[in-house]
Amino acid sequence: MSVLNTFSLEGKIALVTGGAGLYGRQIVEALAEAGAKTFIASRGIEALEAVAQKLRDRGYDVTAMHLDLSLDASIEKVHADIIKQCGTCDILVNNAVTRSAHDGWAHDLDAYDISLHVNASALFKITYLFAQNMKAQKSGSIINISSMMGIVGVEMDNYLGTDMMPDPSPIYFFEKGGMINFTRWAASVLGPENVRVNCLSPGGYEAGQPAPFIAKYSARTQLGRMANDTDLKGAIIFLASDASAYITGTNIPVDGGYTAK
């Protein structure tokens, strides 16, 4: 087989949680362009349907589904519906995230638990369910979308001269760092069944932030810029496809060199 053919996802079934956000849209687009029948799922079904329709208009097979990661029954239904319709799922991209308790450190336990319920507990459950099907077919790729903020501490100098991050919260840094080590754990237990689990840690996406922040953040990277609307696509296809058949348990920063500087 030609090495270029190993990047093809023709005949593969993929699920992306989330899918309408800045990084989610390019993840979905990349999987569809590579040939996968792609499902996208979150609570914001109208936004997902708009993404799906744009890709269907281009000839790709993309379906939006409702998913509430705070509810066991909703996770179980999405899993059951995909398996009933397609028989399996070859690629799971855990991309969805909730933003509870992100406004500072002073929260009670319930506020933190709302975030952890979705960003940690639901991650464990949905990965487990789809991993059972992957184990049965002795193949599959699970990709967790973390963040460069799961690798480093907060750099307050980036926010000088703006009203961004006036009171930083630990929750996102905690959850994204935990996702990276969950990736290693899941790769350990699923590897014997030829199910690979990897993580991508994107850097900041330029999306109309204040000019001082963009300048400071960009200077902090080795490439001198923030991410754009295509920067994650190649890494997603690499990890989803047979091109990375001997790679598991790894975390790849897609951050323009921010965490290497």
Contact between residue 65 and residue 14 where contact means Cβ atoms under 8 Å apart:
no
178, with CB counted inside 10 A (0-12, 13-18, 19+), is middle
Catalytic amino acids? 159
Q: Find, among 131, 154, 153, 142, the residue nearest to 179 by Cα.
A: 142
In angstroms, rounded to a whole number, what is the distance separating the alpha carbons of residues 251 and 249? 7
Q: Which of 191, 253, 261, 254 is nearest to 228 (CA)?
A: 254
Sheet holding 13-17, edge to edge: 62-66, 37-42, 13-17, 91-94, 140-145, 195-202, 251-254
Instruction: Label residue 10 exposed, middle or buried (CB < 10 Å: 0-12, 13-18, 19+).
Output: exposed
